[in-house]
Structure 1
Amino acid sequence: MTLWDEIGQQALAARRQMVRSGELLSKDEFREQLHVSASQIAHMVAKGDIFTIEVDGLEYFPSLLVAPGLDLKRLHSVCRILVPAPPSCRLGYLSSQRANLGGISPIVALQDDESYRLLRRMARAYAAGWWRTSVTIYAGCHCEEPADIEPVVTAVDEVDPRVGVWRRAAGAIRSGGYIYPSGPYANANLASVFIALHPAGQATATLEARVDVNVDDGIAHAHVVRRERPAYTLRAISVRDTESIVDVVLQVVLAAGKRESTRRSEKANS
């Protein structure tokens, strides 16, 4: 048995004990305490207002989410913030005392206006830490990330994955928690940009977008390839005032975000 197998068995034993002790409730038990219908429960789970913990192939609800005296509106808002974290970690976060909340638990913090506002900020930071967005720029044109050359730059930032890909990418380039190398960066006429989403741990990253950039006489032309979406070419962008290919890529990312936002608004209004 490997170490990970042993840890998994210990976690399963702990969850089984939580079922026996009533810390985890069946769907019917939870629904009865919350006084809602089965369809309402399903809707709340889909929104992230509440969440389930899997035990032996069955889904259970933390009894913490229906504890007496809770401000359910506030609790559900915090649960929605925590969605990027795995369910077991959401439960651990809600039930444990947090130093950045003054040594109280998030459940207790719901009771006070000031503590609740602080909780929302801290919960966002905690949830974002479960996902990282990386922006990797290579000189030249590449359909896949090359293994034989070093990137011009790699920028990584911890951001809620529900935030739009272009906003996350721009944030990583501008002020991410990790940027290597630190610069200055050279100019390049051709570049390929790979934007990926990384879950915490060793899970495989998901490539969200590839952008091929061609700079000619101060004008950038960019072709965008999105995962499971039609590829498109951006309108030409003036980049004469930029100092490096990294600055060019930032302008392209901002333009792509603006284009997709405009298209969504047009569809919503049509």
Structure 2
Amino acid sequence: MTFWDEIEQQALAARRKMVRSGELLGEDEFRERLRLSESQLARMLQRGDVFAIEVDGVAYLPALLATLGLDLRRLYSICRILVPAPPSCRLGYLSSRHANLGGISPLEALREERQYRLLRQMARAYAAEWVRTVVTIYVGSYEVEPRDIEPTLTAAHEVDPRVNLWMRAEDALLSGGYIQPCGPYATASEATVFVSRQPAGQAPPIPEARIAVSIVDGVAHANVVCHEVSTYKLDAIRVADEDIVGVVLHVVVAVRKLSL
């Protein structure tokens, strides 16, 4: 048995214990507590108001999400913010005390307006940690990301994946959170940009967009492909004698302005 198999077995044993203790409820019991219909619960799950945790192939919902006496409207707004995190981690976040909340739990922070506003801010930061947007730039033209050459630039930024794709890509290039190498960068007549989402852990990256950039006589031309289905060409952008990373930033900003 591998280390990760042992970790998974321990996690499963903990979830089974939560079912036995009533910390996790079956869907019928959860609906009964809140007097919900099946369709109402389905809509809440879809919106992210509540979330389910699977145990032995059965979906259970945290009992704390049906706690009468809590401000459930505020609680469900926090749940929606936490959607990028895995369900088990959302539960762990909600049920733990946090130093950045003054040593109290999110459930306690729901009671007072100032603490609730701080909780929303901290929950956004926590949710963003679970997915990075990665922008990779290669000199040359490529249909798929090459594996045998080093990129001219790799930039990554932790941000909620529900934020506009091009806002996330621009943030990655400008944030300074992770940029490698730091420059200076060469000029080039052609480049390919790949934008992807990188979930936390060992999950593979999720491709989101590709940009083919060419520069002729100080003018950049770009073809943008999103999700391999929609392709469009940007208007020409004058870039003078900028290096290739500066050119790509101009292109990403232009795409972002078109997408909003």
**What letter matches 1:96 in structure 2?**
S
CA distance in 1: counterparts of 2:167 and 2:95, whole angstroms: 32
2:193 equivalent in structure 1: 193
1:244 aligns with 2:243: yes
2:49 equivalent in structure 1: 49
Q: Could you report, residue by residue, the CA deviation over 1:240-263 in whole angstroms, capped at 9, with x for unpaired residues?
A: 2x63211111111122222233xx
Q: CA RMSD in A?
A: 1.2
1:154 equivalent in structure 2: 154
1:61 equivalent in structure 2: 61
Aligned-residue offset at 1:69? 1.3
**What letter matches 2:163 in structure 1?**
V
Give the 3-state SS of the residue equivalent to 2:12 in structure 1: helix
Q: Could you report, residue by residue, the CA deviation over 1:105-160 in whole angstroms, capped at 9, with x for unpaired residues?
A: 01101111111111111100110100011101111112222233221111000011
CA distance in 1: counterparts of 2:28 and 2:18, whole angstroms: 17
**What letter matches 1:32 in structure 2?**
E
CA distance in 2: counterparts of 1:207 and 1:32, whole angstroms: 41
**What letter matches 2:164 in structure 1?**
G
CA distance in 2: counterparts of 1:176 and 1:132, whole angstroms: 13
Aligned pairs (5 A) from 1:5-16: 5-16=5-16
Aligned-residue offset at 1:49? 0.5
TM-score, length-normalised on structure 1?
A: 0.93
Q: Could you report, residue by residue, the CA deviation over 1:6-49 in whole angstroms, capped at 9, with x for unpaired residues?
A: 11111111111111110011111111111221111100010000
Give the 3-state SS of the residue equivalent to 2:230 in structure 1: coil
**What letter matches 1:24 in structure 2?**
L
1:257 equivalent in structure 2: 256
1:129 equivalent in structure 2: 129
In the TM superposition, structure 1's runs of 4+ consecutive aligned residues that sit over 3 Å from their partners are none
**What letter matches 2:182 in structure 1?**
S
**What letter matches 2:65 in structure 1?**
L
TM-score, length-normalised on structure 2?
A: 0.97
Give the 3-state SS of the residue equivalent to 2:124 in structure 1: helix
Tell me the number of residue pairs that the alignment of Structure 1 and Structure 2 aligns.
260
CA distance in 2: counterparts of 1:5 and 1:151, whole angstroms: 35
Identical amino acids, percent of aligned pairs: 63
CA distance in 1: counterparts of 2:39 and 2:5, whole angstroms: 36
1:118 aligns with 2:118: yes
CA distance in 1: counterparts of 2:115 and 2:21, whole angstroms: 30
Aligned-residue offset at 1:228? 4.1
1:266 equivalent in structure 2: none
Check whether the contact 2:209–2:228 (CA below 8 A) recurs between aligned residues: no
CA distance in 1: counterparts of 2:131 and 2:3, whole angstroms: 24
CA distance in 2: counterparts of 1:140 and 1:228, whole angstroms: 19
Give the 3-state SS of the residue equivalent to 2:60 in structure 1: strand
CA distance in 1: counterparts of 2:25 and 2:149, whole angstroms: 53
| Runs of at least 5 residues in structure 1 that lack an aligned partner in the other structure | 262-270
Q: Could you report, residue by residue, the CA deviation over 1:83-118 in whole angstroms, capped at 9, with x for unpaired residues?
A: 000000000000000111111001101111111111
CA distance in 1: counterparts of 2:119 and 2:187, whole angstroms: 44
| Runs of at least 5 residues in structure 2 that lack an aligned partner in the other structure | none
Aligned pairs (5 A) from 1:158-177: 158-177=158-177
CA distance in 1: counterparts of 2:248 and 2:159, whole angstroms: 19
2:34 equivalent in structure 1: 34
CA distance in 2: counterparts of 1:156 and 1:134, whole angstroms: 4
Q: Could you report, residue by residue, the CA deviation over 1:156-183 in whole angstroms, capped at 9, with x for unpaired residues?
A: 0001111121110000001141001112
CA distance in 2: counterparts of 1:215 and 1:117, whole angstroms: 47
Give the 3-state SS of the residue equivalent to 1:259 in structure 2: helix
CA distance in 1: counterparts of 2:157 and 2:90, whole angstroms: 21
Farther-moved stretch of structure 1 (93-102 vs 185-194): 185-194
Aligned-residue offset at 1:187? 1.6
Give the 3-state SS of the residue equivalent to 1:61 in structure 2: strand
Give the 3-state SS of the residue equivalent to 1:156 in structure 2: strand
**What letter matches 1:51 in structure 2?**
F
2:215 equivalent in structure 1: 215
